[in-house]
Structure 1
Amino acid sequence: MLLKVLRRRSPLYFILIPIIALLLWLDAFQNPVSLADYSGQMPLYQSILCILNCNALYLNILGFLIILLISYSLIQLNEQFIFIKQRTDLPSGLFILIASCATLANGMHPALISALFLLLSLKSIFKIYHGNKSITSSFDAGLLIGLASLFYLPTSLFLIWFVWSLIILGSFRLREFLGGLIGFITPLFFIVCWYFWQGNLNQFIEHSKMIFSQNDHLIAFSMSQILFWIFLAILSLISIFFTIWGFEEKRVRSRKYLIIIVALFITTIASGFLFPSAILAQAIIAAVPLSYILSYFFVMNRNTKVSEILFAVLLASCILISLIK
């Protein structure tokens, strides 16, 4: 019954979402800590740290606002492309729960900004399909991934996801590929030129190498967190299987969009294996595609009893993990 109510469209979501997010982020405001040191960050995130004077509270307020922006953007994207046949606000709530509870702490992290840019790049990729401006959309997608990497460098690996998406869409042509590649290189080119002009190009290269090899501070797992992640992993596998091979008939366009979302999630997991120390960042980014994947399962699954039980367990687990972490 709870899932039946929450998966519908309701104006109350626009009130409930900030309240739920605020409750989950209370500790981040009461006991603010820095999740990312200045010395180990990319140039654009260092600029934000400078503007906010590395104040942990101000940074967490910014992170909270980005969380809300992503959650509302998730709804808008499905409204525009309708890959989940039933209009629903559920992805918004699931994103906040996963991003806030699956991570080891709440607060501002450069991966949050990268997650926002990846969501925007997802929108650009969707526009490529049967679009009259496929080259422009490809350029925009590459540009957004390039900007995301200037906040959190491992996001540059998602250029592979962009190529994968072109293949899924059947739009892997030289012009779309080059458009995305040029878009990706553009912000990096300007940053490299800036450092070269300042005479610090070698320093920037060495700094980038250090970021790829550094360890995050938050690497301790409690038993409750491990159990929660195991349940979330099992639920994710069930939802991915249902999304790709589910019994619901889907339009060709919707099916391609959903596979691209699954590909984004798989790329995030693969990135986590390449950088196991950056588990916090990967969990934040993975929450974007996972919120859609889980929403599709909960909304479109005809076995409502199973959906209700799994959703109740997920909700209870999120509440418990937020109370005891």
Structure 2
Amino acid sequence: MIVRAFRTLNPLSIIWLIILLFVLRVGYAYHAPANISVAFLEPFVRLLIPVSYEHLFSTGVNIFLAGVLVLIQALLLNYLVNRYNLLGKPTFLPALMYITISGLFTPFLLLSPPLICNFLVIWMLFKLFNLYKGEDAKSTAYDLGMIVAIGSLIYFPFIYLFLVIWIALIIFKPFNWREWIAGVLGYATIYFFLAVFYYLNNRIGEFSSIWLPLGTKFPNKINIDYYNYLVLIPVIIILFLCFVKLRENFFRSYVQVRKSFQLLFFIFLIAGLSFYVKAEFNLNHFLLCAIPAAIFFAYYFLYATNKWVFETLFFLLLVSIIYFQFNTF
């Protein structure tokens, strides 16, 4: 039984995580295209690095490196959850769920800006959860503003996670306008240096065009292949059961835990809805939702009581992921 093996904090679980990581990627590696281009920075930052790197890695190396990053992120996320006692018990479930969710769709299996930005999301969560007991949040808000700015240089839709800073200040702290302004100053610091670089290269007139994508209208419809999204059926069921379980235990939890889950929900929502900023719809954007989703999943699987239900659900999720990797319709 997979889930029950990860309910406790056993270091040997890392070996099983690596095996699962391989299993969830071998199907795509079997028929992946020979050449895959990857851009790690937004076009408006290419001025800083005028070197072609899109075809730096072969497909096999690309998939391998993406898997290594996912494993590191999974372990960092697991440490984060256990450090702040979000689930009430030490467990390896967050790492298991993150590795599973990061294999949902084939674009998730490759190096991409959203995958790299997930390191920044985890970094932000460490700082955001510290707001609850922190005395002075101004320096933390400033740092968070800088992190969001750096993330937007890598992947521009990351800019919307700036809203998370203000939402966290509302949830964790009494209102202080200096803390709200500190986040703006942190964000502005990074772009000030970018503006200086543009100016020194006589391209300051192009600087204002960076924010034009924010004016993009939210799409009325998205052209997708619905067969490939059947894998989301067990995901939706698990999320629903998670929110039911959270509702049952909500007022039994510590105040910090309740506030933390409220913040995670907003991160999940904001990260998911910010996809429209990119002109071309890419599924890998939704990797930004993987971290809060993994914590929600872990909560359900830790507190679910009927082992046949939760083990079957997780097994169906794994089977559907592997099946749709081998069948592209």
Give the TM-score category using the shorter length.
0.7 to 0.9
* Counterpart-to-counterpart distance in 2, 1:4 and 1:105: 26
The runs of 5 or more residues in structure 2 that have no matched partner are: none
Look up the match of 1:43.
Answer: 45
Q: How does 1:142-181 map to 2 (within 5 A)?
A: 142-181=145-184
CA RMSD of aligned residues (A): 3.1
CA distance 1:39–1:120, change in 2 (3 Å): closer
Normalising by structure 2, report the TM-score: 0.84
Q: Which residue of structure 1 lines up, in the alignment, with residue 9 of structure 2?
A: 9
Measured in 2, the distance between the counterparts of 1:154 and 1:204 equals: 17
Identity of aligned residues (%): 21
The number of aligned residues is 319
2:130 equivalent among 127, 140, 147: 127
8 Å Cα contact 1:28/1:107 also seen in 2:
no
Q: By how many angstroms is 1:272 displaced?
A: 3.4
> 1:106: how far off?
2.3
1:110 CA drift (Å): 0.8
**Displacement after TM superposition at 1:284 (Å):** 0.9
SS of corresponding position for 2:249: coil
Q: Secondary structure at the match of 1:8?
A: coil
Deviations 1:249-299 (A, max 9, x none): 211111111111111111122223665843423321111110001111111
Specify the alignment match of 1:55 in structure 2. 56
Q: How does 1:33-112 map to 2 (within 5 A)?
A: 33-34=35-36, 36-37=38-39, 41-43=43-45, 47=49, 50=51, 52=53, 54-57=55-58, 60-104=63-107, 106-112=109-115
Q: 1:60 and 1:227, CA in 2 relative to 1: closer, same or farther beyond 3 A?
A: closer
Give 1:120 shift. 0.7
**Structure 1 residues 137, 39: closer, same or farther in 2, change over 3 A?**
closer
> Structure 1 residues 173 and 232 mapped into 2: Cα distance closer, same or farther (>3 Å)?
same
Q: Residue 312 of structure 1 corresponds to which residue in structure 2? A: 315
The change in CA–CA distance for 1:213 and 1:85 in structure 2 (over 3 A counts) is same
Show the counterpart of 2:266: 263
Mean alpha-carbon deviation: is it higher for 262-271 or for 313-322?
Answer: 313-322
Once residues 69 and 153 of structure 2 are traced to their aligned partners in structure 1, the CA distance between those partners, rounded to angstroms, is 17
